Amino acid sequence: MRAAVLKQPGTLVVEEVEDPSCGDDEVIVKVAQCGICGTDRSIFRGEYSVGTPAILGHEYSGTVVEVGSKVNGVSPSDRVVVDPNVVDDVCFYCRSGSSNLCTGLSPLGVARPGGFAEYSVVPARYLYEVPDGVSLAEASLVEPLACCVRGIDQAGIDVGDVVVVSGAGPIGCLLIQLARLAGAATILAVEPSQARREHGLLAGSDIVCAPDEAVAELTRVRGTIGADVVIEASGSPASAEVIFRQVRRGGTVLLFGVYPVNEHIAVSPFRVNEDELRVVGSLNNPNTHQRAIDLIATRRVQVDSVVTHRLGLDLLAKAMDLTNFPTAGKIAIDLQSD
C-alpha cells in the first residue's frame, strides 16, 4: 500500500509499504480522509518525539475491508470513524475513570501506524459507525470535534456567559460553535490572521478582532468586568499568558491549545487565589466520540466549514508547513483521490 512515512523530523516520504495484517481483535480500514492536526505538525518538526519510521495521522474515517476472527458487531463495508486513543485499561487512571490520562496510552498515528496511508489496522473497540447522511469527509472531523466537546465540558459555560476564544483556527472555530450551543450570549474571537478572523466570524463569533484590539472590544462588551470564560485554543504561550488578563473574578480559564513542552508563562498565584479563578486543561476525548457524531449527524455543528483544503497524499509534506497555505483552516488528506 501507499503510505506517508516519517523517516525523521522534517523528512516525510510517500512510498510503498507492506500491506497491514489483521489480528483477531482488529479490523483493517480502507482510509477515506485523514485530517492534519497540530500534533502531526509538531511531530513533523521534531517538537514531539515519536519512534521512526512512523505513519502519522489520527483524524480519520474509512470503510472496513477485513475483520478479525474474534470481532463482533463490525462487518466489511461498514463505514467507520476511528477513536485513535488506545489505552491500556490497567493503569490507575483507566481504573479511576480517567482513561484520557492513561499512562500506557498508545495512540494510532503516534505510537501505532495511523491514517496517512491507504489502509490502517485498528482495534475493533475503537471504531464508531458513521450514520447515514454523514459523509466520510465529515466523519474525519469527529476526533477533533470530540476533543472540543471535552474542552467545552471542562470550561463549564453557563447560559448567558461572555466567552473569549483565543485562536480562530479549525479548533477555535469548532469551540466557537460549541460555546454557542452551550448557551454563550456573546463570543469574542481573538486572532492575528485576517483570513482566520473571517473563519471565526463564519463559525458564529459575535465579534472577531486582532490581539491588540481585544481589550477594547471586551471592555465595550463587558466594561471592566472581563469574560466569564476564556479559552486559549491557539497553542501560543504568549496568548496563554494574556488571557489571564481577560477573565473576570470567579471566571474560568481553559488552556486547550497544545503548547511546546518546555515553555512557561508568568501567572500570579495571588490573583488566582484572590480572584478565585478556575484554571483547567483538556486532554483528548474521553467518552465524547459518540456525542461528536450525533452533533454532526443532527447538523448542530458544521464541521465541513472548518476544512479549507482537501489534498492528495503526495502533498502531505508540503501541507505540514502552513506557510505554504497561509489562508488555510483545516487541511484534510483525501486518500481516495490519488
For the chain (length 338 residues), average pLDDT per consecutive 10?
97 96 97 96 90 97 98 97 97 97 97 98 98 97 98 98 97 98 98 95 97 96 96 95 97 94 93 98 96 98 95 97 92 85
Whether residue 295 is contained in a domain is answered as: no
The CATH number linked to 256 is: 3.40.50.720
201 in any annotated domain:
yes
Domain that holds residue 329: 2-141+303-334
Do 133 and 188 sit in the same domain of this protein?
no
Distance, in Å, from the CA atom of 190 to the CA atom of 195, rounded to the nearest integer, reads 12
CATH code, domain with 91: 3.90.180.10
Per-residue pLDDT, 47: 85
Does 27 share its domain with 105? yes
**Domain presence at residue 293:** no
List Cβ neighbours of 235 (8 Å cut-off, separation of 6 or more): 38, 167, 257, 258, 259
218 part of a folded domain: yes
Are 261 and 161 in the same domain? yes
Residue 274 forms part of a structural domain: yes
Query: pTM value?
Result: 0.95
Torsion of CA 106, 108, 110, 114, to 10 degrees: 160
Question: So what's the pLDDT on residue 48?
Answer: 83
Q: Is 310 exposed, middle or buried (0-12, 13-18, 19+ CB in 10 A)?
A: middle
Domain check: are 207 and 122 in the same one?
A: no
Q: Are residues 33 and 63 in the same domain?
A: yes
Same domain, 18 and 101: yes
Q: Establish if 298 belongs to a structural domain.
A: no
Give yes or no: residues 130 and 154 share one domain: no
pLDDT tens by residue, 116-142: 999 999 999 999 999 999 999 999 999
* 170 shares a domain with 119: no
With beta carbons less than 8 A apart as the criterion, state whether 55 and 1 touch. no
| Judgement on whether residues 41 and 11 belong to the same structural domain of the protein | yes
Looking at the structure, tell me whether residues 43 and 105 fall in a common domain: yes
pLDDT score at 15: 97
Same domain, 236 and 313: no
How many other CB atoms are there within 10 angstroms of residue 121's CB atom? 18
> Is 292 among the domain residues?
no
130 and 237 assigned to the same domain: no
- Give me the number of domains the chain comprises: 2
C-alpha cell at 69: 476472527
- Residues whose CB falls within 8 Å of the CB of residue 216, separated by 6 or more in sequence, listed in order: none
User: What pLDDT shows up at residue 337?
Assistant: 67
294 lies in some domain: no
